[in-house]
A and B are shown apart, each in its own frame.
Chain A
């Protein structure tokens, strides 16, 4: 069955530190990949997405993610975090062209950035 793993459940960083959140999925076929973010008190928002093409995708607020097909990974990065990046981050995948279009989410990573 398709699944998504986010290895870091809680991450605490100081402002200006670099961020990398891991995401691995289990599916041998082609996938669409997403990172969503949920700021405190707000709803899930799309951070970035990968469908095809350049495996390095850029999203909002200086975030980027790299799709490495051989490693089944889609890690999220940001060179320098800000206090306002404090949020919960979810990786999600769905099958490319599959019968179902549902998103499979990881369990999320709670990021706390200390000023």
Chain B
């Protein structure tokens, strides 16, 4: 169990550029979540996948945001035409869906995005 990993850890970009973040979940975890955290706030849910299916998207996820999880393994989160308001920490979490509803999410180190 190597934990959830995210890449890059930091990203600085200019407004209007596209950025893509990657998340590698704990192996064999079938659920993967993306959250966004801004200063002074707790993480806010963006979207989640069970295997390769994207099952829910928050209204926070505008049309400029897209997430994928091909083959149910790693996931990517892309932000197109970045805006200064996109500056935040983007967190990935994974979990194993077992019988019942006792599910624990484990978080990665996050990707800190700064849009200039």
Contact = CB atoms under 8 A, between A and B. Distances in A.
B101 A97 contact: yes
B43 interface: yes
A44 B107 contact: yes
Interface size class of A (residues with CB under 8 A): 20 to 34
B106 A46 contact: yes
15 contacts: A32-B102, A44-B91, A44-B107, A51-B102, A90-B43, A92-B42, A96-B101, A97-B101, A101-B95, A102-B33, A102-B45, A102-B48, A103-B33, A105-B43, A107-B40
Contacts of B109: 42-43
Interface of B: 31, 33, 35, 40-45, 48, 56, 58, 91, 93, 95, 101-110
Given A36-B107, A44-B91, A107 B56 contact: no
Contacts of B58: 102
Given A36-B107, A43-B110, A105 B42 contact: yes
A85 to B, nearest CB: 19
A48 B96 CA distance: 17
